[in-house]
A = this chain, B = another copy of it.
Amino acid sequence: MSSMTGNKLKISIFGESHGEAIGVVMDGLPSGLEIDLSFIEKQMARRAPGKNNISTGRSEGDLFRIVSGIFEGRTTGAPLCAMIQNQDTRSRDYSELKIKMRPGHSDYTGHVKYSGFNDYRGGGHFSGRITAPLLFAGSLAMQILENYKGIYIGSRIQKIYTVEDSTPFEESEECVLNLRNKEFPVIGDEASQNMQQEILKAREEGDSVGGVAETLILNVPAGYGEPFFDSVESRLSHMMFSIPAVKAIEFGEGFNMANMKGSQSNDPYMMQGTRVITSTNNSGGILGGITNGMPIKFRTAIKPTPSISKTQKTVNIEEMQNTTLQVTGRHDPCILHRAIPVIDGAAALVVLDLILEREGEIIR
């Protein structure tokens, strides 16, 4: 299942970078849900390229249109399809990229997987551009979670290259919502400046940088998810690694848990009024694969954008010989800030699916 996923809420994405259009089908959406398309547009604008000097120059409005599944402003319950036309597909010469494999990209693996028949132009179906329909679907799910379930999801950039933001990520709706209004979603202002400096520096060097995103999901009740093969961690990680460039994920204290003893890492339970909470949240809101009612918390690592203009060593797969490659054209020196809304939306798809599985298909 390469392009379809989900249990009760299923999505199917399609499209290639230089084809006619890209899009997504969502199956299993409850009927009767009010959808505010401007909410989705705002999220998509956060990912859209060409906004400023820290992103690629490719200019795509990423304007979607609803093909099916919404009637009189509400979901019909039938499959919802949204399409985004490809507009700015420069008819440049891709013949070099057909035979010289870009390091760090899927050119070579795609070539082997599809025996050379893949559409190599602009990365084809492997293009980061395919995250636009994923973001559409995710933003729609995020909106449903907020309006019908009071569940809020938000991510911040916690690190770019070697610059970390040591400001804590406050577990509040306000903090999460504030991040959405920032063009560069970092909490600490100084860190934000330094991170952007690193990106610009990388751009000047013809190089690129990556970083770490930190995500919070607020107000998911206890009892969602499954033990073993459909643990919340399994489901979320499965989805996160579907986003190109994600190479690591940790829940709660993650790798840092190895530095703790059980007496430190175990989150003690306590009563908060009539509600059971934990006084720490090292587990990131998940125990035994199931939510415990505390905020779900995870961090993902995004690798540096593989498209750089520096000369790189590679192979010519037609002649099966060593060669060098200098990738030209429009590239992002960093994609983390553009990936942030995609991460949020992808998480929302998983959470909404978990809810539909536990609560059934009717949401009001």
| Residue of A114, A307, A315 ringed by the most chain B CB atoms within 10 A | A114
A187 to B229, CA, bound (A): 30
Q: Give the shortest distance, in Å, between A131 (CB) and chain B (any CB).
A: 9
Residues of B within 8 A of A117 (CB): 31-32, 71, 74-77
Task: Please indicate which of the listed interface residues A112, A224, A251, A263 has the most CB atoms of chain B within 10 Å of its own CB.
Answer: A263
Most buried by B among A31, A234, A262, A315: A262
B209–A76 touching, CB < 8 Å: no
| CB–CB B362/A119 < 8 A | no
A305 interfacial contact with B, CB 8 Å: yes
Min CB distance, A129 to chain B, in Å?
12
Interface size on A, residues (CB 8 A): 153
Smallest distance from the beta carbon of A102 to chain B beta carbons, Å? 8
The answer to whether A207 and B322 touch (CB under 8 A), given A81-B15, A114-B76, is no
- Report Cα–Cα, A2/B25, bound state, in Å: 12
A108 at the interface (CB under 8 A from B): yes
Known contacts A104-B287, A315-B269; A124/B308 CB under 8 A: no
Q: Are B313 and A103 in contact (CB under 8 A)?
A: no
Identify which of A76, A208, A258 gathers the most chain B CB atoms within 10 Å of its CB: A258
Q: Whole-angstrom distance between the alpha carbons of A284 and B241 in the complex?
A: 13
Please provide the chain A residues from 293 to 318 with a CB less than 8 Å away from any CB of chain B in the complex: 293, 299, 301-308, 310, 312-315, 317
Stretch at the interface among A148-156, A173-181, A352-360: A352-360
* Between-chain CB contacts (< 8 Å), 9 pairs: A2-B226, A5-B230, A16-B69, A78-B114, A104-B265, A106-B287, A210-B260, A257-B303, A262-B308
Distance A162 CA – B261 CA, assembled complex (angstroms): 10
